[in-house]
Structure 1
Amino acid sequence: MSDEQQVASDDADLATLGYQQKLHRTMGSFTSFALAFSMVSINTGVVTLFSDPFTRVGGVGILLWLVVIPLVFCIVMVYSHLAGRIPLTGYAYQWSSRLAGNHFGWFTGWVAFISFAAGTAATSAAIGSVFAPEIWPNPTQLQIQLLSIGATVAVGVLNVFGIRIATRMNDLGACIELIGTVVLTLALIGGVFFFFPHTQGLGILVDTNPVSKQPIHFVTVALATLLPVSVLLGWEGAADLAEETRDPRKTAPRAMIRAVVVSSVLGIVVFALLGMAIPGSVEQLLAHSENPVIHLVRLQLGRVAGSVMVVVAFASILACLIANMAVATRMTFALSRDKMLPGSGFLSSVNPRFGTPVGAIVLITVIAVVLNLASGGFVTAIYSMVGLTYYLTYFLTLVAAYLAHRRGDMPSAPQGVFDLGRWLVPMIVTGGAWTLVVIVTLTLPDENHDAAITTLAALAMGAIWWLASLRGRLNRGVAGPRQHR
């Protein structure tokens, strides 16, 4: 089938789900994978959160990746099952609405909107906090914020000019991250086992001496899992851009699975090698004013390698920001198209020339700028909120999938589309249990109370809007996914 025939078939498929094609369908299989891979962005997570496991439980925290990866895969499998059956922009919102009802779908969509909006702000904040010291010797808070906000505005403008331009930039960033990470891995393997003197070596993997000097207990172990949890987020972005993807029923599930496989393997290998490559004490490395990963690469591989690492890390985080902006604006567009948000007319407007939801892009850009100003540029607190809202979205989606399966309402899929078959319920149950563990870990410990309170405030806003206006309109059928009108 030619590209033109495939697009015509996809547009017809979209019409059966209740919508007219307005966004430009230009994404192929590699671009879909690159977007999901950039959303995960192992370099973003590792560079910004490298010290966390060492501070909480010591080097043994590296092995917690082996616990997290298979549990995350349970969620990925269920999402892939759903992406092949309901290939719509707004993914979790659309799935939950059609599987568990419009009211349930609103809360899923609202939580997903929060996660993507906060994720965009967190990623732009990471650009400021990581790279401002590379520009200014002792950057002020204002300089950090200006760098973050400048990157946000630039990416917002880039997204306005079309998904093709944005995804090509993202493709480039993903390729730089992938190639750079592989090269870094090979260099670290050679260095750790053959060339670097006085490294931590394999012993770091069994080290149980946290830098904090605090005793290790269940809560600290649970909190130490949050690095791989925070890294392995966002892969579902491929499903969120379904209406801009060719053959999304097959493409999106494959993109999500491939992105998580590649990110999981590279993530644990790179993190373990970086830990093994630490010279001297871990505490001394983490106490340095420079970002520990960049500083470590400079120490062991030289200043040129350190500069290359800066370039790779910048390309990775910028690509992550481009991808976050894309998926956040598409979730906003999907909700607004169904008249679920205030100002839906403006937020659902699509530029006919570029095929982009300009109103949604403006909103997400403004939110990211405001959050960076309000947060004082501190990325950690925003990241905590991002992880919590992501996992709330996962949990709600898994509940909707289980309810639909139990009632026999799960849509069928064409031949050749990803299908879990009898494994659907075990994956839902295992993935659901894991999401609850993460949600508890991200709310109950004292250090996460601020993020939990912020998330509750955001959820309360969604509940108030639902009670005051949306509930009645959903009941009257004047809002919600078009299939239900």
Structure 2
Amino acid sequence: MTGYAYQWVSRLANPILGWITGWISFTFLAIVVVAVDYTVAATVVPALFDFTGTPLTSFEITAGVLLLQALLVGLSTKWTERVNNFAVTAELIGMVALVVLLFIVGVIAHKLSVGNLFSRGDIPAEGYWSFGTATSVGPWMLGFLLGAFTIVGFESAANLAEETKKPEVVVPRAMWQAVLASGVLGFLFLLVVTAAVNDPTTLAQSGTPIADVIRDILGSFVGTALLILVAIAIFACGLVILMSGVRLVWAMSRDQRFPGWQLLHKVSPRFRTPANATVFMAATSAVILGIFSTSTDALFKLFSAATLLPASIYAITTALYIATRKKLPASAGFSLGRWEVPVLVVAVVWLVFELSLFRDASFKDPWLYVLAMVAIGAVYLGYLLVTRGKEGSRCPRWHRSMLNWMKSPALPRNP
């Protein structure tokens, strides 16, 4: 069902914990779309048009991209899907071409250095491999968060389940295919780009390091063409994130459990989209952009918050699934089978490790953002409990029927 982790946790545990997870998910989606769009503004556009970006130009470009995405999502679901499908195709073609060309040209021109893959660059050797202290983490450990930021949001496909034929089959397939493609292509891309770095010290001072490496190896024309494909892919990524956030706001509003649900649950009769929820989601992200864009290290702070929050969401969902998996009916479309337990063990170990990295003092501002949003959510949840009571805070549309479904003795159970 539409509604991201909000729907899952509401069923795995209870509607109140589901609401909390839904609010955390909203907090995540509202900032991650800014982080993704800001990447275009801060790293790709300056390289394409040959200018030095500033916090102001990054803000203006990101705001423009966000507005365009909101118009697409709010005016036409069909056109949003078309743009996304085109962008996914362009992304796959572009990434494969980029990896292959960087490798071939780099080898021929003798510009690839395997030693770069094992180099610390200018980072001191002392403490490089260290797990860190109570308030710091070693550089090598922090590197894990790069992958953690990249491979998130794969479950967003479930947010369009109610608009998809055979979602029990299509959605799981889309999720594992997205993770596989991102993991393999992303790993190969990072491998060849790192090997292609000529001067790590100089590159570290650049505002567009990846673009600089691509142009150094492939030349200006090919590099520019591939950067355009990258920009299209990142735009589509932000588009899907915004759509996912809109669907979450709409789903919680449909259940009368989101601030302003009286307006946000409505679907535009003309465009057949949750237009009000789209405006609200885009406006919230614009406010977040305005707060973070004044900082010179805005991209780091945005990335950090957009990595911390999904890790928390995945941890909650995984823990609750482990606690209730024996009570759940068997899946009708996808199952890990005997691999389920090993996957759960690895997931728990990884999530505990990932969350432990955010004790580093450099993550102060992301934590402040999370705490501020949680405080706002706590006030509204308190309002729900006071005005409606514990029973009144339940989802009015489905709770009783879902409870009966979960308790039905005739349903097959997970092994």
Q: Does 1:308 align with 2:221?
A: no
Deviation at 1:309, TM superposition (A): 2.4
1:362-409 superposed Cα distances (whole Å, 9 cap, x missing partner): 01110121111111262221111111111111011112212222xx42
Tell me which moved more, 368-377 or 127-136: 127-136
Amino acid at match of 2:94: G
- Contact kept, 8 Å, 2:249 with 2:277, in 1: the verdict is yes
CA distance in 1, matches of 2:3, 2:389: 17
Match of 2:109 among 196, 211, 219: 196
Deviation at 1:483, TM superposition (A): 2.1
Query: Structure 1's 101 and 479: CA in aligned 2 closer, same or farther, altered over 3 A?
Result: closer
Query: Given the alignment, which residue of 299, 304, 328 partners 1:410?
Result: 328
Q: How does 1:169-318 map to 2 (within 5 A)?
A: 169-193=83-107, 195-200=108-113, 202-207=114-119, 209-213=120-124, 215=126, 216=128, 217-218=130-131, 219-220=137-138, 221-279=140-198, 281-289=199-207, 291-318=208-235
Report what 2:51 is aligned to: 137
Q: Is the 8 A contact 1:97 1:103 kept in 2?
A: yes
State the distance in 2 between where 1:115 and 1:469 align: 22
Q: Structure 1 CA distance, aligned partners of 2:45 and 2:396?
A: 43
When residues 107 and 471 of structure 1 are mapped into structure 2, their CA distance, relative to the original with a 3 A threshold, is: farther
Identity within the alignment, %: 29
- Report the alpha carbon displacement of residue 431 of structure 1 after superposing the two structures with TM: 1.1
> 1:130, CA displacement in angstroms?
1.9
| C-alpha distance in structure 2 between counterparts of 1:476 and 1:297, whole Å | 58
Question: Offset at 1:132?
Answer: 4.3
Structure-2 change in CA distance of 1:464 and 1:455 (3 Å)? same
The alpha carbon displacement at 1:471 in A equals: 6.5
Whole-angstrom CA distance in 1 between matches of 2:34 and 2:287: 9
Partner of 1:327: 244
User: Cα offset for 1:478?
Assistant: 5.5
Whether 2:402 is the aligned partner of 1:483: answer no
User: CA shift at 1:203, angstroms?
Assistant: 1.9
In 2, Cα distance between equivalents of 1:153 and 1:135: 21
TM-score by length of 1: 0.76
Per-residue CA deviations over 1:101-123 (Å, capped at 9, x if unaligned) read 11111111111111111111212
Of 457-466 and 106-115, deviating more is 457-466
Residues 253 and 262, structure 2, Cα contact 8 Å, conserved in 1: yes
**Distance in 1 of aligned mates of 2:33 and 2:217:** 32
Residue 440 (structure 1) aligned with residue 360 (structure 2): no
Listed as ranges, the matches of 1:41-120 within 5 Å are 88-120=1-33
Tell me what 1:16 maps to: none
Q: What corresponds to 2:343 in structure 1?
A: 427
The letter of the residue matching 1:314 is: A
What's the CA shift string for 1:99-151, capped at 9, x where partnerless?
Answer: 10111111111111111111112122222212442446234432221111011
What is the one-letter code of the residue matched to 2:221?
V
Q: Look up the match of 2:371.
A: 456
**How far, CA to CA, are the matches of 1:109 and 1:423 in structure 2?**
28
2:413 aligned partner: none
**Mean Cα deviation higher: 251-260 or 154-163:** 154-163
Task: Work out the CA distance in 1 between the residues paired with 2:329 and 2:386.
Answer: 26
Q: Residue 398 of structure 1 aligns with which residue?
A: 318
**Residue aligning to 1:40:** none
Equivalent residue for 2:73, pick from 156, 159, 184: 159
Q: Would you say the 8 A contact 1:402–1:425 is kept in 2? A: no
> Which of 378, 382, 391 is the equivalent residue of 2:302?
382
C-alpha distance in 2 between matches for 1:435 and 1:463: 24
Gaps of 5+ in 2: 132-136, 401-415
Residues 410-458 of structure 1 deviation map (CA, whole Å, 9 limit, x = unaligned): 13333xx11123443443343123212211212x111112212221221
Mapped partners of 1:463, 1:425: distance in 2: 34
Matched to 2:101, the amino acid is A
CA distance in structure 2 between the partners assigned to 1:392 and 1:259 by the alignment: 21
Q: Distance in 2 between matches of 1:317 and 1:441?
A: 26
Inter-partner Cα distance in structure 1 for 2:330 and 2:385: 30
Q: Out of 391-400 and 463-472, give the one that drifted further.
A: 463-472
Q: Measure the CA separation in 1 of the matches of 2:319 and 2:250.
A: 24
User: Which of residues 262, 265, 288 in structure 2 aligns to 1:371?
Assistant: 288
CA distance in structure 1 between the partners assigned to 2:14 and 2:168 by the alignment: 22
Q: Distance in 1 between matches of 2:33 and 2:4?
A: 18
User: One-letter code of the match for 2:379?
Assistant: I
Q: Deviations over 1:191-219 (max 9, x none)?
A: 233x123432x222222x24333630222
Provide the C-alpha distance between the structure 1 equivalents of 2:396 and 2:167, rounded to a whole number of angstroms. 19
CA distance, structure 1, for counterparts of residue 110 and residue 336 of structure 2: 49
Offset of 1:302 from its aligned partner? 0.6
Number of the residue aligned with 2:39: 126
Shift of 1:481: 5.9
Q: Any conservation in 2 of the 1:170–1:319 contact (CA below 8 Å)?
A: yes
**Structure 1 residues 298 and 235, CA gap change in structure 2 (3 angstroms):** same
C-alpha distance in 1 between matches for 2:50 and 2:388: 52
- SS in structure 2 of the partner of residue 112 of structure 1: helix
Give the equivalent residue in structure 2 for 1:34. Answer: none
Distance 2:58 2:314 in 1: 32
CA RMSD, Structure 1 to Structure 2 (Å)? 1.9
Write out per-residue CA displacement over residues 213-249 of structure 1, whole angstroms, 9 at most, x where no aligned residue. Answer: 3630222222111111111111111112211211100
Q: Could you say which residue in structure 2 is the equivalent of 1:51?
A: none
CA offsets 1:244-294 (integer angstroms, 9 cap, x no match): 211100000000001111111101111101111122x221222235x1111
Stretch moving more, 220-229 or 470-479: 470-479
